[in-house]
Amino acid sequence: MTPNNRIALSSDHSAIQLRRAIADHIEAQGWVVSDIGPMTPESTHYPEHGAAAARLVASGDCHLGIILCGTGQGIMMAANKVKGIRCGVCGDTFSARMIREHNDANILSIGARVVGEGLALEIVDAFLKARFEGGRHATRVDMISALEE
């Protein structure tokens, strides 16, 4: 566990049930969840939820983030507009591990209409257990960060 063991967790209306399952799962592992909703199933806008979670991570209030929408794509696009965020959509454990190890991703995006709960929890575990390798990958991450300037 890191000194800052807070995870920003957010979704749109389509992923509330999976978001709650993920929250329970990671809290059981000792993570502190900043669940920023939504809490009710009324239609919401994924860009707002992706950006809100990304701001918590970019500010350092949360170490990592997990965001969800129907496909994971739209909310990921919104999160990546926040400076300092590297978010990837993952539908498998290999990709979830690699975005941490090679890309130093700080937010994971999952499509609630794409993967089931069991696989989603495995993806979350792969993301949270992986560590950035640095080395040649650090140069590439620096190149990505330079694009924000």
CA distance 18 to 56: 21
Query: Which residues are identified as catalytic?
Result: 69, 102
Phi-psi region of 50 (alpha: psi -120 to 50; beta: other; left: phi over 0): alpha
- In sequence order, the 6+-apart residues with CB closer than 8 A to the CB of 131 are 100, 101
Residue located via tokens 């991450």: 141
Identify whether 38 is preceded by a cis peptide bond (ω within 30 of 0).
yes
